[in-house]
Amino acid sequence: MAGGCWLLLLLALGRAAPPAGMLYPRETPSRERKELGGLWSFRADFSPGRDAGFVQRWYRQPLRQTGPVIDMPVPASFNDITQDPSLENYIGWVWYEKEVLLPLRWLQEDFNTRVVLRFGSAHYYSIVWVNGVQVMEHEGGHLPFEADISSIVQSSPGTPCRITVALNNTLTPYTLPPGTIQYMNDKTKYPKNYFVQNIRFDFFNYAGIHRPVVLYTTPSVYIDDITVTTTSSDNVAMVQYQVSVVGSTLYSLSLSLRDQEGKVVATGDGPAGVLKVLNPNLWWPYLMHENPGYRYSLEVKMQAQVNGALLEDLYTLPVGIRTVHVTSTQFLINGKPFYFHGVNKHEDADIRGKGFDWPVVMKDFNLLRWLGANSFRTSHYPYAEEIMDLCDAYGIVVIDECPGVGIKIPESFGNKSLQHHLVVMEELIRRDKNRPSVVMWSVANEPASELPPAAYYFKTLIAHTKALDPSRPVTFVTDVNYALDLGAPYVDVICVNSYFSWYHDPGHLEVIPLQLTTQFENWHKTYQKPIIQSEYGADSIPGLHSDPPLMFSEEYQKALLREYHSVFDKKRKEYVIGELIWNFADFMTNQGTTRVLGNKKGIFTRQRQPKSAAFVLRERYWKIANESSCLPPIIKSHTLFLK
């Protein structure tokens, strides 16, 4: 296996603060978009130091000229695509390349068209070259990054544009998520230079170009960012906006807000202001209103004079009008109590790993609505923007979690890690700040928040998150005892995970009522904050049956859920504001003695077929929706909502 220079290279690479805007690349009359999905050339660098690509500068010529390449689909994880076990478990640099021909109209050297190369995400550390020129670096596997490549592509119109990506999936104590590389030096047991990647989180560290890659254009003076926040009371809503323009200081901006019938309901101008909407259609969660997910369209038009020419940029942002408030016992959306009856998910499926895939995405949304789930947490990293768009459109409420998972060793609580974590929150909020579906940020999952440095770490991280977005509550998800947790004082909502009668007292379902009740009472007594049961569940192997219920059978999973539910039903009358099952579907993990081809706590299989527990949850979620809704009885008309 490999030596350590590739790891040193990774650690030495710098990390720039995120630039201002990261608007989703939409086609508009002033913007075009070209998808770069499909087959890319690919090579994993198996050289002993994993550094041959840099030593031999593979980016300077077509990849096929420096060695063998294979076809690799994008988007997809590379791990499960071939029959090669060494690629499945590969750690280090892999190389991707795509040649694209651009429309000539993008390439006129009048400097009025800006061409941008954008990656929805690539895991974990990316360096990108265009025609051999480095255009960007990005750290982090779950958020978008982009670069203006106009000057490079416009200097050679008519020739294919060669995009080369070097990608490294190595995790260190300072990455998010963190990991460590362990060298096995006992020569009697391991080959020379043998190492493993250790991680302290429970999902497979899939890698590759995971989300869509696009080229898009804007005029050279362009709308760089839009920020919208909304308030409403007594049949009037206020939409506060801020627009930033890059490329010139001499521009004008006009804005119109249209309803779904296309009627203009408010107009504004200038880079900041307030739009007043009378009798607004509010954005409501799924199952809380007969027309959930209502969004207006905010049309932003920028005009600028550049060298005698009029440049115009248009961008349309969907805007949902809704408010979020937290009290000591409730979570209010538009002033009404909201109960999270939902799931935790993963971006995970056969073959494609964590690669974005429309059929899987649509199947998951159809299953969520079939289940009567009104919410999910993006455990344990931000999900694709296309998924978030559907949450906005369907009214699925989201707790938006950053990749702060597996933060367990003291080294990962130091300043270097904290600084990176702050940047990741900036990138996440920059991407998702305008989404009505996002009602809360989660800065981490199950960190070792009992360790002394955790107090300063979470105080700083949560304060920073609130400063970036004062409009949403902030949490992190804990499994630490209420009396020991040093981060909990800073959260708005307590999110707690527990696995009674699974990891604790395995097989003893009878302990759940007492242990769960005690858990809730201790937390609420200590903090007087509302509580979400952010994980609970049991593994089950589909088709494995046992009565009386024994662990790993479908019956045990159902019985465990029911024990939890009886406590939830008491406590949701007080201060428990949600329950999120672990997990929506079975998912792949590292191999280990407690994992059978992955984690089997799904209520659906990895292929999205229901286990018995799915029906238990479906009945429960529709019942809760029916009780708390002001709608006519909807339990009998599931299909009404399956639009």
Which 3 state secondary structure label does DSSP give 174? Answer: coil
String of b and e for 99-116 (b: at least 16 CB within 10 Å)?
eeebeeebbeeeeebbbb
CB of 196 to ligand GCB, least distance (A): 20
Q: Which 331-390 positions form the footprint of ligand GCB (CB under 6 A)?
A: 380
Q: Would you tell me how many other CB atoms lie within 10 Å of the CB of residue 85?
A: 8
Q: Which 183-202 positions form the footprint of ligand GCB (CB under 6 A)?
A: 202
CB of 535 to ligand GCB, least distance (A): 5
Q: Indicate which single residue of 601, 611, 618, 620 sits in contact with ligand GCB (rule: CB under 6 A).
A: 601
Q: Which 200-219 positions form the footprint of ligand GCB (CB under 6 A)?
A: 202
Q: Indicate which single residue of 241, 294, 564, 582 sits in contact with ligand GCB (rule: CB under 6 A).
A: 582
CB of 388 to ligand GCB, least distance (A): 21
End-to-end CA distance of the chain: 52
- The residues that bridge with 219 in the sheet, in sequence order, are 113
Q: Is the sign of the CA dihedral 182, 173, 399, 208 positive or negative?
A: negative
CB of 411 to ligand GCB, least distance (A): 21
The vertex-285 CA angle with 281 and 286, nearest 5°, equals 110
Please pick, among 146, 385, 401, 446, the residue that the annotation labels catalytic: 446
- Under the binding rule (CB under 6 A), the answer on residue 485 touching ligand GCB is no
* 568 CB-near residues (< 8 Å, 6+ apart): 533, 576, 579
CB of 408 to ligand GCB, least distance (A): 12
CB of 530 to ligand GCB, least distance (A): 20
Tell me the CB-side half-sphere exposure of residue 295, using CA atoms within 13 A: 20
Output 375 or 445, the one with its CB closest to ligand GCB: 445
CB of 6 to ligand GCB, least distance (A): 28
CB of 479 to ligand GCB, least distance (A): 6
| CA-to-CA separations, 24 to 77, 117, 380, 462, 634, in angstroms, rounded | 22, 12, 22, 26, 35
Output 218 or 583, the one with its CB closest to ligand GCB: 583
* C-alpha 211, offset from chain centre: 11
The vertex-401 CA angle with 582 and 95, nearest 5°, equals 100
- Under the binding rule (CB under 6 A), the answer on residue 600 touching ligand GCB is no
DSSP string for 100-163: EPPPGGG--TTS-EEEEEEES-EESEEEEEETTEEEEEEE-SSS-EEEE-HHHHHTSTTSPEEE
Active-site residue, 446 included: yes
Q: Indicate which single residue of 229, 434, 445, 533 sits in contact with ligand GCB (rule: CB under 6 A).
A: 445
Q: Indicate which single residue of 479, 492, 563, 586 sits in contact with ligand GCB (rule: CB under 6 A).
A: 479
- Under the binding rule (CB under 6 A), the answer on residue 446 touching ligand GCB is yes
**334 cis-preceded (ω within 30 degrees of 0):** no
* 18 CB-near residues (< 8 Å, 6+ apart): 423, 426, 427, 430
Output 331 or 582, the one with its CB closest to ligand GCB: 582
| Binding-residue pattern over the window 519 to 558 for ligand GCB, x denoting contact by CB under 6 A | ----------------x-----------------------
Kind plus residue range of the DSSP H or E element containing 462? helix 453-468
Q: Nearest to ligand GCB by Cβ — which residue?
A: 202
- Under the binding rule (CB under 6 A), the answer on residue 497 touching ligand GCB is yes
Residue with tokens 């009290």: 327
Contact status, residue 423 vs residue 17, Cβ threshold 8 Å: yes
Output 421 or 601, the one with its CB closest to ligand GCB: 601
- The residues that bridge with 241 in the sheet, in sequence order, are 228, 273
- Under the binding rule (CB under 6 A), the answer on residue 599 touching ligand GCB is yes
CB of 380 to ligand GCB, least distance (A): 6
* 230 CB-near residues (< 8 Å, 6+ apart): 237, 238, 239, 240, 319, 320, 321, 322, 323, 436
Output 419 or 515, the one with its CB closest to ligand GCB: 515
Kind plus residue range of the DSSP H or E element containing 9? helix 5-12
Which of these, 310, 311, 336, lies nearest to 322 by C-alpha position?
336
| Count of residues touching ligand GCB (by CB under 6 A) | 10
C-alpha 356/C-alpha 74 separation (Å) is 9
| Binding-residue pattern over the window 379 to 418 for ligand GCB, x denoting contact by CB under 6 A | -x--------------------------------------
Output 45 or 586, the one with its CB closest to ligand GCB: 586
Output 80 or 479, the one with its CB closest to ligand GCB: 479
Which residues form the interface with ligand GCB (CB under 6 A)? 202, 380, 445-446, 479, 497, 535, 582, 599, 601
Catalytic residues: 446
